[in-house]
Structure 1
Amino acid sequence: MIVPMKKVTVVVQDKDKIDLIEKLGKLGILHIEHVQAPSGREINLIKEDIEKLEEAVDILSLFSLEKERKEIGDWKVFIRQVIELKKKIDCLREELNKLKEEIAVWEDWGNFEPKLIKELEGKNILVKFYRIPLREIKKLPSDLVVKEISKKKGMCNCLVIARREIKLPYPEFSLPILSLEEMKREKEKKGSLILSLENELREKSKFIDSLKKIKLDLEREKEFVEVVKGMGEEENLSYLRGYIPEDKVEEFLNFARKEGWGVLVEDPKPEDNVPTLLRNPRWVEILSPLFKILEIFPGYQELDISMWFLIFLSLFFGILIGDAGYGFIYLLLTFLIKKKWKDRIKEKSIFYLLYLLSTSAIIWGLLSGTIFGQEWLSNFIKPIIPSLRDDKTVQGFCFFLGAIHLSIAHLWKFILKLPSLSSLVELGWVFILWGMYFLARMLILGDLLPGFVKFIFLLGFVFILFFTHPQKNIIKGIGKGISNLLLNLVNNFTDVVSYIRLFAVGLATIAIADSFNRMAIDLGYQGFFSGLITSLILLLGHTLNLILGPMSVLVHGVRLNLLEFSNHLGIKWIGFPYKPLKR
């Protein structure tokens, strides 16, 4: 449920504005809306500090020493040291990579002193390094001295010595600054220096929690300063605006009376940018971490589909994964992660969401007789519902699920529009959706089209044509109905058909499992090595499926809720969360 909000304006004397914000922060129920865009040097300096802290935290997060809750003396000096150490390491790694490339080139030439080559140049003896095809060496001018150093794949690394300037049509290598041995020593030296600097960072990583706390304090300070800078001013008065939940208005007014603030409480206007606060039963709240991960939020004027999202996501997960064995693995992994890292993860509800989704996969897998694939169990385990092994039945069920899902959207809109006549247009679209369901069964599954379907379509057309925009001028109303029908008719068919993705992806998951099972069975366990390879095939194949499964749910299962269902409800996910000022 989206909690109703009230728009609040608070007025105080200019001298009391800092005290106002401090007390609002302690009260912690007012979401601030800036009267003017906050700006200034103070805000910019805090932002720069936060960016540097984020960079330092990201650097130290790469190291895994046990963290200690220690206070940092001068944190600005500390993060500067961290950033400088990382820059030194990056620079050294770049130099090390160049050295490795140089060593790889000169390894075939052996060790020599570049200084001696330079000295020979001073005596008018030129030494060049060429890679020459073996068959071409005999064709070189007779006044050149050619020394073959190493050979590989028909090519020869050669020293070409001459008393005159030479330029041969073969790859030439410039004289290195260091000898091969010096390069290797330099490589070891830089490698040791990198390890030493990394150990310094590893030691500093103990303070990462302290840095995160400082960053959090700075973000609060930035928010506080932005509220001050974003206040409106009128002569010797300052004022701010914001939003509070309707059920907190009395508490806020009582607090304001004690403090002597001037307060105006009003209903938000349609053009206001109102934050969204969701309140749902605990069993629905388990979905909230997914919304945060996806960074989606319904607008204040939109609808909260959390309950339907959760119900159908669970169904979609079961069909897309479709394997009781995989569901059990997900369930076990969730249990182990919760046991090990429950103190590190604040959003405990994510675990209950994963438990629910895993259970859904287990149930669907048992109903269809799928446990780490189907074929290998066919002689031992029979599906509880054998028809779930039939492709046509599952495809039909997916179409049915789509029609149900989208019908809920239009029936919801129908209830919201009552008692207006325009509510009947939503019933019209429900009839169209079910007509499209039977049409999809005929075109894709080869079923006969029932005779009553034409009456379903007729009812849908009548409701849409006459009630899209009911008015006294029937011709104008029908015109808008025709426009509505033409724009959305085909979309309704494609939306119902799009639910077949549940069948296709679920079938692919089972097919991959069965393929790896067949490969493993063909090899068998006749000996140690064949048994080892068979085990590796099973492990890698099913691990691949376990990784791809959740990805398919994000791509397809979530999409059906966020696009198809949301589009039929008119939800655009343009909202942002209610975040009250807190100190």
Structure 2
Amino acid sequence: MIVKMSKVSFIFLDSEKDTALEKIQKAGVVHLQRTPGSSETLTGLAADRNRIVRALSRLDVKAVQEEYSYSEDKARDLSQKVLDVLDSIKESEEKLNLVKEDLIWWEPWGDFDPSEIAILKSRGVELHFYEVTRNDWEDIFKDYRSFVVSSVKNTVYGIIVVAEGEEAPDLDSVKLPEYSVSELLKQKLHIENKLKGLYEVLQQFSGQQNMLKALLKSVEQDIEYHEVRTGLGNEDNLDYFTGFMPERDKDKIQSLAAENAWAVILSEPTEGDVVPSLVENNKLVNTIKPLFDILEVLPGYKEMDISLDFLISFTLFFAMIIGDAGYGVLFLLLTILVRFKSKKGGPGFNLMYLLSSGTILWGMLTGNWFGSLALGSWEPLKGLVIPQISAFPELFGTDVDSSSTIKYMCFVIATIQLSIARFKNFVFKMPSLVAFEQLGWLTMLLGIYHVVLFLVLGISPIPPYAMNMIAVGLVVIILFSQQEKGVNFFKGVLKGLNPIGLFQLFLDSISLLSDIISYIRLFAVGLASLAIAVSFNAMAAPMMAEPGVAMIGGALILLLGHSLNIVMGALSLIVHGVRLNMLEYSGHLDMEWSGFKYEPFKKVQE
């Protein structure tokens, strides 16, 4: 459920603002409406945070963490050491890149000592280095004392000898290197060894990154504090600010204000307030929370919490889309293994236990075990199958049409879920007259359901009452969709007869039809997953019958094929399984998922 919030405003003396903020922070229940100001302290803290983040970003997250006793001085000293190492690494890598560039550039010239070229010049003999095309070399340098050092494709690397008093060609020559190739190789080796040592030091620091994380958290809390401090409203030596807190904590804040002689105003949030959302549920319903965290979605404060609805439907959609009991067993075993190694539970593991079990149950009822007909026809497993939804209907005779049955199930699931959405919306919007619009959509939905069965499955005729339900639903929607508080009922009806509104109603009616039909994706994606598994099994079967290398090849095909199928199934869950809840179902609830997280102003102790 979404926890009910109270709006709270504090007023206290400017001279007491630090004491007041520290006590409110210690209480840890008020979510502040922040309008951060600016100060040198904030600027310094932001720079401090960036340095710590930079230090953490280059540490190995997989390193085994050492035990530590936190102190800010030790943490800051560690941060500076890491930054010093990172600066040294950056400087060494830049030098190494320059050395590598020089080696590549001078490789065609061979290894020589540039100082010897200078000695020759002092004795009246100059060597000029040129990099030219083969044609230019033969044409321009034919009258000079010259020799070719090397050539690559059409490029010649050559030297000409110019004695004292002679003129060199009017052509830019190659500038001599500062070091010989052998010296550059020594420098390269020296820098690489230095980098190796620096990375070893960095790896040692990686075992202490929890201390840096604690420092980062402390700095971020200081930033939060000073953002609040600089953003306080001020008038006549009085400071004030507004926030929100769970209604259950009103007494706690009132007592705190009374003890410190602050003025505090508690009220209900108004229509224009932007209120944070705090969602709290029991342990079972909270199982779905990890998925919401991954999707980064939260219902708005004035919306509904559909965690339980989402959990039930997503479990069903997961099972139907993956559709394979064998995959479900793998998911369950992998979850148990990871849980055992992590030694720490949580809603994420509970969610995977539920989803894996649901997949095993659905696969067991459809007889789909790794897409294998042989496993599906094995009597102990075959006896668990419901023939009407079997993955291999041929095992139960020619009269079984499981595809049509599952399509029918998809439309039933759609109608039930969307009907629940409309009814919940009706209850949620009561006692407003506009709530009755939802009953119109509900009536219309139940009528369109029969139209979908006729259009997709050919179930005919359409019952006469279905068309009557659609007509009644349209009338109810027109009568109540534009009703507003304080507006005459008949004016609302006239607004509902607006041509633009009627055209939009026509489009929404078509959308309602498509929403029901869209649930057929549960059948389609599940069927595709089964087809892929069957195909890879068929490819591998002849090879698995042969001993030796062929059998190993067949095993690899099975491993890669089923792994690919699982990955594609996971993607399908996001594209299809989540979509049906986030778009179709949420759309019928008029949900926008516009919420933002309740984050109270508080000090987190290490």
Structure 2 length normalisation: TM-score? 0.83
What is the aligned partner in structure 2 of residue 467 from structure 1? 480
What is the aligned partner in structure 2 of residue 266 from structure 1? 267
What is the aligned partner in structure 1 of residue 470 from structure 2? 457
Residues 286, 352 of structure 1: 8 Å contact kept: yes
What is the aligned partner in structure 1 of residue 22 from structure 2? 22
Residues 60, 201 of structure 1: 8 Å contact kept: yes
Q: 1:516 to 1:577 in 2, by over 3 A?
A: same
Q: Look up the equivalent residue of 1:21 and give its one-letter code.
A: L
**Partner SS for 1:353:** helix
User: What is the Cα deviation at residue 165 of structure 1?
Assistant: 4.2
Give distance in 1, aligned partners of 2:308 and 2:363: 24
What is the aligned partner in structure 2 of residue 395 from structure 1? 407
Residues 231, 240 of structure 1: 8 Å contact kept: yes
User: What is the Cα deviation at residue 261 of structure 1?
Assistant: 2.7
What is the aligned partner in structure 1 of residue 496 from structure 2? 477
Give distance in 1, aligned partners of 2:45 and 2:209: 19
1:430 maps onto 2:447 in alignment = no
Give distance in 2, aligned partners of 1:525 and 1:158: 62
Deviations 1:102-137 (A, max 9, x none): 76787788656666678889845555457879xx99
User: What is the Cα deviation at residue 297 of structure 1?
Assistant: 1.3
Deviations 1:425-481 (A, max 9, x none): 212212333344333344444443523332232222222222223522444433376
Spell out the pairing of 1:132-147 with structure 2 (5 A cutoff): none
Residues 67, 205 of structure 1: 8 Å contact kept: no
What is the aligned partner in structure 2 of residue 554 from structure 1? 574
Deviations 1:186-217 (A, max 9, x none): 43333222211111111222221111111112
Q: Look up the equivalent residue of 1:323 and give its one-letter code.
A: D
**Partner SS for 2:24:** helix
What is the aligned partner in structure 2 of residue 356 from structure 1? 354
Give distance in 2, aligned partners of 1:531 and 1:44: 66
User: What is the Cα deviation at residue 242 of structure 1?
Assistant: 1.8
Residues 109, 157 of structure 1: 8 Å contact kept: no
Residues 70, 207 of structure 1: 8 Å contact kept: no
What is the aligned partner in structure 2 of residue 11 from structure 1? 11
Give distance in 1, aligned partners of 2:596 and 2:336: 32
**Partner SS for 2:305:** coil
Residues 150, 158 of structure 2: 8 Å contact kept: no
Q: Look up the equivalent residue of 1:430 and give its one-letter code.
A: L
**Partner SS for 1:448:** coil
Q: 1:105 to 1:235 in 2, by over 3 A?
A: closer
User: What is the Cα deviation at residue 329 of structure 1?
Assistant: 1.6
1:331 maps onto 2:332 in alignment = yes
Q: 1:13 to 1:177 in 2, by over 3 A?
A: closer
What is the aligned partner in structure 1 of residue 241 from structure 2? 240
Spell out the pairing of 1:117-156 with structure 2 (5 A cutoff): 123=125, 126=128, 128=130, 155=153
Give distance in 2, aligned partners of 1:38 and 1:259: 26
Deviation larger for 349-358 or 444-453 = 444-453
Picking from 555, 563, 567, the partner of 2:587 is 567
1:309 maps onto 2:310 in alignment = yes
Deviation larger for 378-387 or 300-309 = 378-387
Give distance in 1, aligned partners of 2:98 and 2:188: 10
Picking from 355, 365, 368, the partner of 1:367 is 365
Give distance in 1, aligned partners of 2:205 and 2:236: 51
Q: 1:176 to 1:261 in 2, by over 3 A?
A: same
Deviations 1:15-51 (A, max 9, x none): 33222222222222222224x5433222222222122
Deviation larger for 69-78 or 490-499 = 69-78
Residues 369, 376 of structure 2: 8 Å contact kept: no
What is the aligned partner in structure 2 of residue 79 from structure 1? 79
Deviation larger for 440-449 or 140-149 = 140-149
Residues 148, 156 of structure 1: 8 Å contact kept: no
Q: Look up the equivalent residue of 1:280 and give its one-letter code.
A: N
What is the aligned partner in structure 2 of residue 221 from structure 1? 222
Runs of 5+ in structure 2 lacking a partner? 162-167, 392-401, 484-488
Give distance in 1, aligned partners of 2:128 and 2:551: 63
**Partner SS for 1:287:** helix
User: What is the Cα deviation at residue 410 of structure 1?
Assistant: 0.9
Deviations 1:136-181 (A, max 9, x none): 9999997687759688xxx5886545567499xxxx9997665554
Residues 7, 266 of structure 1: 8 Å contact kept: yes
**Partner SS for 2:245:** strand
Give distance in 2, aligned partners of 1:94 and 1:400: 65
Give distance in 2, aligned partners of 1:117 and 1:392: 89
Give distance in 1, aligned partners of 2:589 and 2:600: 29
Q: 1:10 to 1:507 in 2, by over 3 A?
A: same
Give distance in 2, aligned partners of 1:118 and 1:39: 61
**Partner SS for 2:490:** coil
Give distance in 1, aligned partners of 2:195 and 2:50: 25
Q: How many equivalent residue pairs? A: 571
What is the aligned partner in structure 2 of residue 300 from structure 1? 301
Residues 76, 215 of structure 2: 8 Å contact kept: no
User: What is the Cα deviation at residue 287 of structure 1?
Assistant: 1.8
Residues 468, 484 of structure 1: 8 Å contact kept: no
Residues 63, 202 of structure 1: 8 Å contact kept: no
Deviations 1:358-402 (A, max 9, x none): 111111211222222244534435371233333333333223322
User: What is the Cα deviation at residue 268 of structure 1?
Assistant: 1.0
Give distance in 1, aligned partners of 2:118 and 2:327: 68
Picking from 553, 558, 564, the partner of 1:544 is 564
1:230 maps onto 2:231 in alignment = yes
Give distance in 2, aligned partners of 1:447 and 1:110: 85
1:410 maps onto 2:409 in alignment = no
**Partner SS for 2:278:** coil
Deviation larger for 352-361 or 174-183 = 174-183
Residues 2, 279 of structure 2: 8 Å contact kept: yes
Deviations 1:206-254 (A, max 9, x none): 2211111111122222222223223222323323322222222233323
Q: 1:160 to 1:566 in 2, by over 3 A?
A: same
Q: Look up the equivalent residue of 1:543 and give its one-letter code.
A: S
Give distance in 2, aligned partners of 1:361 and 1:432: 33
Q: 1:438 to 1:143 in 2, by over 3 A?
A: farther
What is the aligned partner in structure 1 of residue 375 from structure 2? 377
**Partner SS for 1:19:** helix
Runs of 5+ in structure 1 lacking a partner? none
Residues 398, 500 of structure 1: 8 Å contact kept: yes
Residues 3, 246 of structure 2: 8 Å contact kept: yes
Residues 39, 226 of structure 1: 8 Å contact kept: yes
Deviation larger for 114-123 or 362-371 = 114-123
Residues 2, 304 of structure 1: 8 Å contact kept: yes
What is the aligned partner in structure 2 of residue 254 from structure 1? 255
Q: Look up the equivalent residue of 1:14 and give its one-letter code.
A: D
Q: 1:455 to 1:139 in 2, by over 3 A?
A: farther
Spell out the pairing of 1:45-84 with structure 2 (5 A cutoff): 45-62=44-61, 64-71=63-70, 73=73, 75-84=75-84
Identity %: 35
